[in-house]
Amino acid sequence: MIKTLMALSMVAALSACSLVPAQAVYEEIRAQERAKAVGTSMPPGTGLPPYDVYQKERSDPKPSTR
Residue 58 pLDDT = 86
Question: Rounded to whole angstroms, how far apart are CA atoms 54 and 9?
Answer: 35
25, 27, 29, 34 alpha-carbon torsion, rounded to 10°: -170
Is the pLDDT at 1 greater than 80, yes or no? Answer: yes
In angstroms, the CA 3 to CA 9 distance is 10
Q: What is the pTM of this model?
A: 0.53
Neighbouring C-beta atoms of residue 66, cutoff 10 Å: 3
Q: Kindly report, residue by residue over 5-55, the tens digit of the pLDDT.
A: 888 888 877 776 666 788 888 899 989 888 887 777 766 667 788 888 888
